[in-house]
């Protein structure tokens, strides 16, 4: 189920909130927790009920390993249990997410013709798998207790963060779940949650989805119609994708955290103004922060971190970014994207003083690199990525540049578009470019402005802020006719 859908906003969310707060009033919290698990399973299985088998199977397997860790006291037995638990999780992830990719590459490199029906990728499998691996690792290290099956199921299936994060640790959710029955309804937290949800809703529907019209018009036909690309369209489209990806994913995380607040839970922050970063290292401290935290805690540090010299630290960093690339998708484009970011971070580690004196120039340099790396992230193949790079640096402006923004036929500009088409049809290309320029200007103002939580703290309780929130919610809701899925549902 999508956050940005009519059924979620008008049926699912009201039922979930009302049921949760009514059942919390009972003497036992068990019914409220079971209700929350049931609603979360409905949310997850709405798109494809068969995915519930994968989710519940993963949940049962990991809870079983937790039980074994509770009973085994010897170090050797506990370590073997952890290894088997990690292998089980990675095996499930590999089968559903990477097996087709593995088979295709075996066929290509070894000239075989092995055939297997394409395996459907269950939504959010990367997220809830990493979440449970972190739990098992903390159980082994003695940093997590063995929770009841109901509490553990709530932790894994809590629907706001289930499909696309943020990746929540047990220490961030389960203590809140235990305290929840004692906590009265917090109207301020609920209002702030609704405000954060609305800001994320607007990011997704009004910015990300409209930028996607431009992005898809080029990337989706790149290998078929290469003349669609030149220097200007290449750079503008790459910038649009960088903005689309940020508004799409950070919008989802804002909506997830906002729903969490509405239920009385605080979920971890996942973005902190990444486009203000002055280095690639800083970029990754601000972008998808919970994934970065997981990779640092459970891969980089166990590999030795920076404790074994600079050379080993650089190797560990590169491995972490390769894993990040592979985590994002089963394609060589994601491996290349991870390697590009890994090499950039290693370069900054080896040459920390190789930068401009001007902070603004360092920000620009970092964002140019990030935009270029995302070309590989978005392209359907390595071949398409190299073709894109070639044209965005070498091909002079073509006629396509003047008509490429005509995909921005938006409901909001319908009257103005009709007027221009009647009065000056030969200037339609200019009209579309003005619409795109306005969209980009608003996007830049948003990424350079206050973070959502700061905006809420400053303006949400004022009449003007409440009006803006109401306006954005209504506008976004009315725009749901062109609803689209979230990009990170694919990962």
pLDDT reported for residue 38: 96
> How many CA atoms, within 13 angstroms, populate the side-chain half-sphere of residue 184?
2
* Count, residues in the chain: 491
Q: Is the pLDDT of residue 483 over 60?
A: no
pLDDT reported for residue 212: 93
> Helices (H), strands (E): how many in the chain?
24, 0
Which of 269, 277, 266, 241 has the alpha carbon at shortest distance from 253?
Answer: 269
CA–CA separation, 272 and 286 (whole Å): 5
pLDDT digits (tens, 9 = 90+) for 82-96: 999 999 999 999 999
Number of Cβ within 10 Å of residue 455's Cβ equals: 18
More confident position, 240 or 309 = 240
pLDDT reported for residue 491: 61
pLDDT digits (tens, 9 = 90+) for 127-178: 999 999 999 999 999 999 999 999 999 999 999 999 887 999 999 999 999 9
* Of 29-43, 107-121, 327-341, 370-384, minimum mean pLDDT range: 107-121
CB neighbours of 48 closer than 8 A, spacing ≥ 6?
A: 120, 122, 123
Q: Using CB atoms within 10 A of its CB, is residue 247 exposed (0-12), middle (13-18) or buried (19+)?
A: buried
Which of 65, 94, 95 has the alpha carbon at shortest distance from 81?
Answer: 65
pLDDT digits (tens, 9 = 90+) for 208-242: 999 999 999 889 888 776 567 888 889 999 999 99
pLDDT-based confidence at residue 320 (cuts at 50, 70, 90)? very high
Dihedral sign for Cα 234, 320, 57, 114, please: positive
pLDDT reported for residue 191: 96
How far CA 244 is from CA of 68, 205, 355, 379, 443, in Å, comes to: 44, 10, 28, 14, 9
- Whether the CB-CB separation of 140 and 80 falls below 8 Å is answered with no
pLDDT reported for residue 1: 81
How far CA 209 is from CA of 201, 375, 483, in Å, comes to: 11, 18, 8
- Say which of 146, 170, 288, 328 is annotated catalytic: 328
pLDDT reported for residue 403: 73
- Stretch 433-445: mean pLDDT, rounded? 94
8-state DSSP, 457 = I
Q: Is the pLDDT of residue 27 over 90?
A: no
The pTM of this model reads: 0.94
pLDDT reported for residue 484: 67
pLDDT digits (tens, 9 = 90+) for 254-296: 999 999 999 999 999 999 999 999 999 999 999 999 999 999 9
170 an active-site residue? no
pLDDT-based confidence at residue 4 (cuts at 50, 70, 90)? confident
- Whether the CB-CB separation of 157 and 37 falls below 8 Å is answered with yes
pLDDT reported for residue 395: 82
pLDDT reported for residue 121: 82
């Amino acid at each position: 189920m999508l956050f940005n859908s009519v059924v979620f906003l008008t049926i699912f969310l009201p039922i979930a909130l009302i049921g949760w707060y009514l059942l919390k009033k009972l003497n036992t919290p068990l019914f409220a927790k079971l209700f929350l698990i049931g609603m979360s399973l409905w949310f997850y299985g709405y798109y494809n009920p068969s995915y519930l088998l994968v989710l519940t199977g993963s949940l049962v397997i990991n809870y079983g390993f937790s039980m074994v860790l509770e009973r085994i006291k010897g170090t050797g037995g506990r370590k073997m249990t952890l290894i088997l638990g990690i292998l089980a999780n990675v095996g499930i992830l590999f089968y559903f997410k990477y097996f087709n990719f593995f088979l295709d590459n075996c066929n290509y490199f070894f000239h075989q013709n092995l055939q297997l029906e394409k395996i459907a990728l269950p939504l959010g499998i990367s997220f809830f798998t990493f979440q449970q691996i972190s739990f098992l690792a903390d159980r082994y290290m003695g940093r997590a207790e063995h929770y009841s099956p109901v509490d553990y199921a709530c932790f894994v299936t809590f629907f706001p963060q289930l499909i696309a994060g943020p990746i929540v640790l047990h220490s961030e959710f389960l203590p809140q779940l235990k305290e929840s029955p004692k906590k009265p309804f917090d109207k301020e937290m609920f209002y702030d949650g609704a405000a954060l949800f609305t800001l994320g809703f607007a990011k997704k529907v009004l910015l990300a989805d409209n930028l996607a019209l431009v992005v898809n018009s080029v990337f989706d036909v790149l290998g078929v119609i290469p003349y669609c690309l030149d220097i200007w369209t290449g750079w503008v489209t790459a910038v649009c994708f960088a903005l689309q990806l940020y508004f799409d994913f950070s919008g989802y995380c804002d909506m997830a955290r906002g729903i969490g607040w509405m239920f009385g839970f605080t979920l971890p922050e996942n973005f902190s103004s990444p486009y203000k970063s002055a280095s690639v290292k800083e970029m990754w401290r601000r972008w998808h922060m919970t994934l970065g935290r997981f990779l640092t805690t459970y891969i980089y540090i166990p590999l030795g971190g920076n404790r074994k010299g600079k050379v080993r630290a650089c190797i560990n960093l590169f491995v972490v970014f390769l894993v990040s690339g592979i985590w994002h998708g089963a394609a060589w484009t994601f491996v290349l994207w991870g390697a590009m970011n890994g090499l950039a971070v290693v370069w900054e580690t080896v040459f920390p003083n190789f930068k401009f004196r001007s902070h603004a120039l360092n920000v620009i340099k970092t964002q140019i690199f990030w935009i270029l790396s995302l070309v590989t992230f978005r392209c359907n193949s390595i071949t398409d990525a190299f073709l894109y790079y070639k044209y965005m640096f070498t091909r002079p402006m073509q006629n396509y540049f003047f008509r490429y923004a005509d995909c921005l036929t938006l409901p909001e500009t319908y009257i103005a578009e009709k007027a221009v088409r009647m009065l000056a049809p030969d200037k339609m290309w200019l009209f579309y470019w003005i619409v795109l320029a306005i969209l980009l200007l608003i996007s830049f103002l948003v990424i350079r402005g206050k973070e959502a939580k700061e905006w809420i703290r400053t303006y949400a309780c004022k009449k003007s802020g409440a009006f803006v929130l109401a306006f954005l919610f209504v506008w976004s809701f009315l725009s749901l006719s062109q609803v689209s899925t979230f990009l990170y549902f694919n990962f």
